[in-house]
Amino acid sequence: MTPKQEALRAMTRRHFFQSGAFGIGSLALGSLLDEKLLAAPALAPHHKPKAKSIIFLFMAGAPSQLDLFDYKPKLNQFDGQPVPEDVVKGERFAFIKGTPRLLGSPHSFRKHGQVGADLSHLLPHLAGVVDDIAIVKSMHTTQFNHAPAQVFLNTCHQVPGRPSLGAWLSYGIGSPNSDLPGFVVLLSGKNQPDGGKSCWGSGFLPTVHQGVEFRSKGDPVLFLSNPEGVAPETRRRSLDLLRDLNRSHLDEAGDPEIATRMASYELAYRMQSSVPELTDISREPRAVHEMYGTQPGKASFANNCLLARRMVERGVRFVQLYHRGWDTHGASNNEDIVNKLAALCRETDRAAAALVRDLKQRGLLDSTLVVWGGEFGRTPMNEARSGSKFLGRDHHPRAFTMWLAGGGIKPGVVGQTDEIGYNVAEDPVSVYDLHATLLHQMGIDHTRLTYKFQGRDFRLTDIHGELVKKLV
């Protein structure tokens, strides 16, 4: 067999159609190998963007809105009473069995800022920036278990396999910094989010758009240094060889994933110099460390917040932080709404507020949209699993709270829940609506950013989503 025949035999039918009929691979190569890797804004913006970047503080596990934002005096008044039957008739809960009892918040609330927003004493730092944030009390979702709800909140679909918000942004508007990934994920807290990597996956979009996860401990990115004896110029020449050989294969096979891999190698090369500079927070002034509560070298939500600011300064489009552990059922004293919730607030409140304050001081808050929230809310009733004496709340998809700041978002309070916080009473905001609004602030019409897959045009918000006018 000649080399040519051998190569042909190695080609599958799928490749033939990909390269023969459409030639997607070769087309994609043109844009992917551009020096400004992901910077080609071919699809969007559709209108003038208000925000250039998003920092999404994902509180995985679902924080209790009723103990942080959504103050319900009625719950305290009727604490311990069985929940009215008509409210929970036909409801399914993740853990609650029988007729649960209402649970007033054990935490005290005060009004803050010009709009007089309720905040519990667990969020003293957020209270200091309350006039810069929009609190949305009327979020609701369709999922009541962690993994599907997290995947849904990130991709607008509860089953893994759809592109996440960050992937859509990378696909739609690219990233202005060609030396860093356009979508970075930073993890802190107990462990990985339940939804796993699908939360920042690229679904059916080319994998070049998926989130790149930095390690939170030790080196943020492994193997940034060349092996002993490989000088920077040697590495450059070897990557040139790699590129030429891969290109020859791409021309024949036409699989766009080959183009993605080629782009990954070029980005990896540039990250070898851009990442060490980015992640060295030790040279930040002392005042900054005090504001965030950061300690260089320690794995923490605070360090990740500071890193997020440094990434946004360098043009990273979408930074997503995950802090896991908010799942306060009250089955033990280590996961209740008294101690555990307070501990989580101590881990996150100061840095999240510092991030808003820091961005504002640097004039970056106008162009950076900060989002805070989890995958669903928690029940107005005490879970009391197996008669547990510790206070805790079950999963609650019908009403929860998120907050947004900057990027053209109008500060204030949006939405209301009923008097026990069970259902949304005013201005409901669905997960689709949230994403339509986030995309809008980034200059994207959520109905027009589409990708053809399996015979139809897909979009992030599927067939749903309304812009939340009160937020913009």
Q: Are 48 and 443 in contact (CB under 8 A)?
A: yes
Question: 429-430 and 133-140 as β-strands: parallel, antiparallel, unpaired?
Answer: parallel
Q: Residue 191, interface with other proteins (CB under 8 A)?
A: yes
User: Residue 409 is encoded by which pair of tokens?
Assistant: 């978002």
Q: Are 77 and 98 in contact (CB under 8 A)?
A: no
Out of 134, 139, 149, 253, the only residue in the binding site for other proteins (CB under 8 A) is 253
Out of 264, 332, 388, 416, the only residue in the binding site for other proteins (CB under 8 A) is 264
Longest CA pairwise span in the chain (Å): 85
Shortest CB 228 distance to other proteins, Å: 4
Q: Which range, of 90-98, 245-253, 415-423, 459-467, touches other proteins by CB under 8 A?
A: 245-253
Shortest CB 127 distance to other proteins, Å: 34
Out of 62, 267, 413, 429, the only residue in the binding site for other proteins (CB under 8 A) is 267
Shortest CB 229 distance to other proteins, Å: 3
Q: Which range, of 88-96, 97-105, 118-126, 236-244, touches other proteins by CB under 8 A?
A: 236-244
Considering only residues 42 to 101 of the shown chain, the ones binding other proteins according to CB under 8 A are none
Place of tokens 């107990």: 190
Task: For residues 319 and 198, give the distance between their C-alpha atoms in angstroms, rounded to a whole number.
Answer: 16
From the list 435, 438, 408, 448, the residue with the least C-alpha distance to 44 is 448
Shortest CB 284 distance to other proteins, Å: 24
Per-residue x/- mask for other proteins, residues 156 to 175, rule CB under 8 A? ----xx--------------
Q: Which range, of 6-14, 392-400, 402-410, 412-420, touches other proteins by CB under 8 A?
A: 6-14
Q: Residue 210, interface with other proteins (CB under 8 A)?
A: yes
Torsion angle defined by CA atoms of residues 350, 373, 132 and 442, in that order, rounded to the nearest 10 degrees: 130
> Length of the chain, please?
472
Q: Residue 273, interface with other proteins (CB under 8 A)?
A: no
Counting Cβ atoms within 10 Å, is residue 206 exposed (0-12), middle (13-18) or buried (19+)?
A: buried
Nearer to other proteins, 258 or 402 (CB): 258
User: Residue 142 is encoded by which pair of tokens?
Assistant: 């369709």
Q: Are 185 and 141 in contact (CB under 8 A)?
A: no
Q: Residue 39, interface with other proteins (CB under 8 A)?
A: no
Angle between helices 232-253 and 256-279 (to 10 degrees): 160
Task: For residues 42 and 471, give the distance between their C-alpha atoms in angstroms, rounded to a whole number.
Answer: 28
Out of 100, 181, 373, 415, the only residue in the binding site for other proteins (CB under 8 A) is 181
User: Residue 171 is encoded by which pair of tokens?
Assistant: 């696909």
Q: Residue 223, interface with other proteins (CB under 8 A)?
A: yes
Nearer to other proteins, 249 or 470 (CB): 249
Helix (H, G, I), strand (E, B) or coil at 381: strand
Q: Are 429 and 419 in contact (CB under 8 A)?
A: no
Counting Cβ atoms within 10 Å, is residue 400 exposed (0-12), middle (13-18) or buried (19+)?
A: buried
Q: Residue 272, interface with other proteins (CB under 8 A)?
A: yes
Nearer to other proteins, 1 or 42 (CB): 1
Query: 453 - beta bridge partners?
Result: 456
Measured CA to CA in angstroms, residue 240 lies from 39, 267, 293 at distances of 21, 13, 44
Out of 43, 87, 147, 338, the only residue in the binding site for other proteins (CB under 8 A) is 147
Shortest CB 88 distance to other proteins, Å: 29
Q: Residue 228, interface with other proteins (CB under 8 A)?
A: yes
Question: 117-120 and 109-112 as β-strands: parallel, antiparallel, unpaired?
Answer: antiparallel
Q: Residue 27, interface with other proteins (CB under 8 A)?
A: no
Measured CA to CA in angstroms, residue 324 lies from 57, 150, 216, 299, 464 at distances of 11, 11, 13, 13, 29
Q: Residue 258, interface with other proteins (CB under 8 A)?
A: yes
Out of 67, 70, 132, 194, the only residue in the binding site for other proteins (CB under 8 A) is 194
Q: Residue 192, interface with other proteins (CB under 8 A)?
A: yes
Q: Residue 17, interface with other proteins (CB under 8 A)?
A: no
What is the C-alpha radius of gyration for the chain, rounded to an integer number of angstroms? Answer: 24
Q: How many CB atoms lie within 10 A of CB 234?
A: 12
Q: How many residues bind other proteins (CB under 8 A)?
A: 64
Out of 208, 305, 436, 444, the only residue in the binding site for other proteins (CB under 8 A) is 208
Q: Which range, of 11-19, 317-325, 334-342, 395-403, touches other proteins by CB under 8 A?
A: 11-19
Positions touching other proteins (CB under 8 A) are 3-4, 6-7, 10-12, 15, 147, 160-161, 181, 191-192, 194, 196-198, 201, 207-208, 210, 212-213, 215, 217-218, 221-231, 234-235, 237-238, 240-242, 244-246, 248-250, 253, 255, 257-258, 260-262, 264-265, 267-268, 271-272
